[in-house]
Structure 1
Amino acid sequence: MARLGCYDRAVEALNTAKAANELVVTDRATVREAKKGLFGLALPSLKLFGGGKDEEVTEIESKIAAIRMASDGFPTFTLDDGARWKQTDGRNTYPKPGQKIRIRKAALGSYIASINGQPGVRVVRQAN
């Protein structure tokens, strides 16, 4: 009987949180998309999206939507999802809108971008 009472209290607390819009339920696919959208941003370590290594996003693939050349001569890429990445070193990649881009985590918190299968160049995520 005590076990049933505990269950009833838990269900009531869940219903109360739901009614007050304090409860959010989502699926793994939605969490993965949210993590992909935050990929490359320096954020505090939060358990908001779970903490499992198996769910960690280590690379993304997208298309370049727009390009802007920075004053240092390196391009800033805007991806299809609106994320902006700036090339920080390496050779000229001659990027064009519509080209595929793959960005992956590299050593010491850095990121490497490969455009249209070319060898990678270092990039950094820009705040939007």
Structure 2
Amino acid sequence: MNARLLILLPAALISAPALGQGDSSPLDPLFTCRDIVDDSARLACLDAAVDALRGDTERGDVVAVDREQIEAAEEATYGLSIPQLRLPGLSLPGGGEDVELAALEAETASPDRTIIRDDNGQIERIEGLRVVEISENRSGDLIVRLANGQVWRQTDNTHVQLSRRRGVTEYTATISNGALGSHFMRLDNGGRRFRAERVE
């Protein structure tokens, strides 16, 4: 597991863009102390900063999570329209159980999936997601349920031809980003991609 830690403030809902913004960090007081030349003053400053950080951690105001937990949460919430993002399992000190469970379930559901990220580390598309059910709603839109529990609904009129010789559970899906927060899905039947939105 990646040893690098990311410190988050879970006391308030954190929007996804805000995770990369702001100049302050709970670790800033420690870094400031490190620059003090006088040994006694530096030690006193570090002791005070560590005590404050420990208090914040014990109250749940600061939680440390690793990169794998962040990426698992991003995968679990991929496609959801969430104006304010709270990473699952991080509401309590030492949290992360929900994120670890989501990662385990995703790995079990589609062990051959591939997550493609852009230069900023954001998910660009996910390939090889196992399909467990395909149906149509009253409007004729495809409803695709994935093995990881996600449900996606077709939002355009693209005709998707399914093979009668192939069981639904033999399909995998690729979901990719579109413009303005939209998404596309393509089944591995050589067909065209279609617009889709996540409904569960």
Q: Which amino acid aligns with 1:31?
A: I
Instruction: For residue 98 of structure 1, report the CA deviation from its aligned partner.
Output: 3.6
Structure 2 residues without counterparts, runs of 5 or longer? 1-39, 88-118
> C-alpha deviations, 1:2-44, integer Å up to 9, x for none?
2222211221122223333444222112211111111111122
1:28 aligns with 2:28: no
Q: Which amino acid aligns with 2:162?
A: Y
Q: Higher relative contact order by CA 8 Å / sep ≥ 6: 1 or 2?
A: 1
- Find the residue that maps to 2:63 and give its secondary structure: coil
- Find the residue that maps to 1:113 and give its secondary structure: strand
Q: Which amino acid aligns with 1:69?
A: E
- The percent of aligned pairs where both chains have the same amino acid is 29
Instruction: For residue 56 of structure 1, report the CA deviation from its aligned partner.
Output: 0.9
- Find the residue that maps to 1:25 and give its secondary structure: strand
Q: Give the distance between the partners of 1:46 and 1:86, measured in 2 at CA.
A: 22
Aligned to 1:107: 179
In the alignment, which of 152, 158, 176 is matched to residue 85 of structure 1? Answer: 152
Aligned to 1:59: 125
Q: Give the distance between the partners of 2:68 and 2:170, measured in 1 at CA.
A: 25
Q: Give the distance between the partners of 1:98 and 1:23, measured in 2 at CA.
A: 44
Aligned to 2:7: none
Instruction: For residue 68 of structure 1, report the CA deviation from its aligned partner.
Output: 2.9
Q: Give the distance between the partners of 1:11 and 1:118, measured in 2 at CA.
A: 57
Q: Give the distance between the partners of 1:85 and 1:17, measured in 2 at CA.
A: 39
- Find the residue that maps to 1:82 and give its secondary structure: coil
Instruction: For residue 113 of structure 1, report the CA deviation from its aligned partner.
Output: 0.8
Indicate the RMSD between aligned Cα atoms, in angstroms: 2.3
Structure 1 residues without counterparts, runs of 5 or longer? none
Q: Give the distance between the partners of 2:41 and 2:193, measured in 1 at CA.
A: 61
Q: Give the distance between the partners of 2:80 and 2:175, measured in 1 at CA.
A: 13
Structure 2 length-normalised TM: 0.54
Structure 1 length-normalised TM: 0.80
